[in-house]
């Protein structure tokens, strides 16, 4: 297993180094001995974890933060052209490397497994990383979220396997050359970058064409978009197709799924054998993620029975139905779900584990463009909760779109019979939750923005 620093990345500067993807690149490069520096707009637990690893982190974005001996600048698609550090790099003629290009360079001399799909990438990548680690295979990995602590989104292992989350949102997954690829599902999302399903399919086909000759694609046999993509891929030379799911004829067939509170047990038929193993997170979609992980690991040469047992050691990833605590008899769980399909899946999973209690949601829409296109579907999803509080849209990298507000979701939710209340200010959420929650209820903070920070505040208010 090589641990060489990719050429030209000996002294990299990462703009936005505290982000989920960028911090993983920083950790991997530091693990290979690079002198890593970067900047971020604010301090965080992730920044502190990087600093503890020897990464130099500057707060704020200024041209002088770019060291005189920097070998390159690494950016994500979220970095704007007018960023002063990026402008300084251009002035000096320094190489500018996209985050995905840096990750591809780190994966180049490994046996890579790349996990793609509109939903479930982080969970599935995490399951594989945890399972392979539990087997003593010491994989390297890069995940879009933390497993159990800040900075645990990446690791430079000593084995020859590398597991990576492959992001389709900006087509950056076209840079990778995996030996095994997973496609969990194919849906229209990322409306700023894709105008139609045809563009989505074309993008995923390009990703599949990057699989190394003789490699394997593991793909969902149940989800409509994945099935259509499978049909488009028929006859690809040098590619082994492995389907998974509950559909009749799936290569890795799910024959049983037994929920048990906030966990479940799944049974699969694989290679003429029956395997049953536990999944320590609730819901059908998480069980299917585990099956995809199992199929990919087997394709990479890992024994099926050993990996199935090891997958049971996965206990979740931060923000993916993460238990935050209990106060006043009310459990609080945090969910990263921000697309309607994810929202429905997590709400159904939580409903199964809520028992007699009510499911109460604090939802923060993510991105104006997504709300404009999918606001009605988001509102329909919230009808699965007993009551919801809807916050203002979290803009992330976007500028406002006239007429696009959380009201689009609220009105749609009410049309579907949902009990929904608008709560514009985050500071008002703890009191609002305390006013409706009672013993036995389950509160779900949901969204891809800073709604995740409200869980501890809600718990503190419920404890009063």
Residues annotated in a binding site for ATP: 117-123
Among residues 27, 85, 101, 122, the one annotated as catalytic is: 122
Q: Binding site: what residues are annotated?
A: 117-123
> In the annotation, is 122 catalytic?
yes
Among residues 27, 85, 88, 121, the one annotated as catalytic is: 121
> In the annotation, is 398 catalytic?
no
DSSP-derived pairing of the beta strands 320-327 and 330-335: antiparallel
C-alpha count within 13 angstroms, C-beta hemisphere, residue 15: 27
Q: Are 97 and 70 in contact (CB under 8 A)?
A: no
Backbone angles phi and psi of 164, in degrees to 5: -135, 140
Selection from 27, 29, 21, 35 nearest residue 4 by Cα: 29
Report how far residue 380's alpha carbon sits from residue 369's, in angstroms, rounded to the nearest whole number. 18
End-to-end CA separation in angstroms for the chain: 54
DSSP state of 50: H
Which is it for the CA torsion 199, 15, 34, 147, positive or negative?
Answer: negative
Selection from 198, 371, 399, 219 nearest residue 292 by Cα: 219
Selection from 55, 34, 28 nearest residue 44 by Cα: 55
> In the annotation, is 165 catalytic?
yes
Among residues 88, 101, 155, 165, the one annotated as catalytic is: 165
Q: Are 145 and 20 in contact (CB under 8 A)?
A: yes
Total Cβ atoms within 10 A of residue 229:
21
Q: Are 395 and 366 in contact (CB under 8 A)?
A: no
Report how far residue 161's alpha carbon sits from residue 178's, in angstroms, rounded to the nearest whole number. 10
Tokens coding 321: 């139905």
Residues labelled catalytic:
121-122, 165
């Amino acid at each position: 297993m090589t641990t060489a620093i990719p050429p030209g990345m000996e002294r990299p500067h990462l703009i936005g180094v505290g982000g989920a993807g960028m911090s993983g690149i920083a950790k991997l490069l530091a693990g290979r001995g690079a002198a890593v520096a970067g900047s971020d707009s604010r301090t965080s637990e992730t920044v502190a974890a990087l600093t503890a690893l020897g990464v130099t982190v500057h707060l704020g974005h200024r041209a002088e933060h770019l060291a005189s001996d920097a070998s390159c600048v690494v950016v994500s698609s979220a970095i704007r052209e007018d960023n002063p550090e990026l402008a300084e790099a251009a002035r000096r003629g320094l190489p500018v490397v996209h985050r995905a290009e840096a990750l591809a360079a780190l994966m180049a001399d490994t046996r890579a497994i790349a996990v793609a799909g509109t939903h479930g990438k982080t969970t599935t990548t995490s399951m594989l990383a945890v399972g392979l680690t539990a087997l003593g295979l010491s994989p390297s990995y890069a995940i879009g979220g933390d497993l159990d602590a800040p900075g645990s989104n990446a690791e430079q292992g000593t084995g020859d396997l590398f597991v990576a989350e492959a992001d389709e949102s900006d087509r950056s997954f076209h840079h990778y050359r995996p030996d095994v690829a997973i496609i969990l599902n194919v849906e229209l999302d990322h409306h700023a970058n894709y105008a139609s399903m045809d563009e989505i399919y074309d993008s995923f086909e390009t990703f599949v064409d990057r699989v190394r000759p003789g490699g394997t694609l593991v793909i969902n046999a149940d989800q409509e978009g994945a099935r259509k993509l499978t049909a488009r891929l028929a006859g690809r030379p040098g590619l082994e197709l492995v389907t998974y799911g509950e559909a009749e004829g799936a290569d890795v067939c799910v024959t049983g799924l037994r929920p048990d509170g906030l966990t479940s047990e799944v049974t699969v038929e694989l290679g003429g054998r029956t395997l049953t193993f536990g999944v320590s997170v609730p819901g059908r979609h998480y069980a299917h993620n585990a099956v995809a992980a199992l199929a990919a690991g087997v394709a990479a040469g890992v024994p099926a029975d050993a990996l199935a047992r090891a997958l049971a050691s996965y206990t979740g990833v931060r923000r993916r139905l993460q238990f935050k605590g209990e106060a006043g008899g009310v459990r609080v769980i945090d969910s990263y779900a921000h697309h309607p399909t994810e929202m429905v899946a997590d709400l159904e999973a939580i409903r199964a584990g809520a028992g007699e209690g009510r499911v109460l949601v604090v939802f923060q829409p993510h991105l104006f463009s997504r709300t404009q296109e999918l606001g009605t579907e988001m509102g329909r999803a919230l009808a699965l909760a007993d009551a919801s509080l809807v916050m203002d849209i979290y803009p992330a990298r976007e500028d406002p779109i006239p007429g696009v507000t959380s009201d689009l979701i609220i009105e749609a939710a009410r049309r579907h019979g949902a009990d929904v209340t608008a709560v514009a200010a985050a500071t008002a959420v703890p009191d609002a939750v305390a006013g409706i929650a009672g013993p036995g209820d389950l509160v779900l903070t949901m969204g891809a923005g800073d709604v995740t920070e409200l869980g501890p505040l809600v718990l503190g208010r419920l404890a009063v």
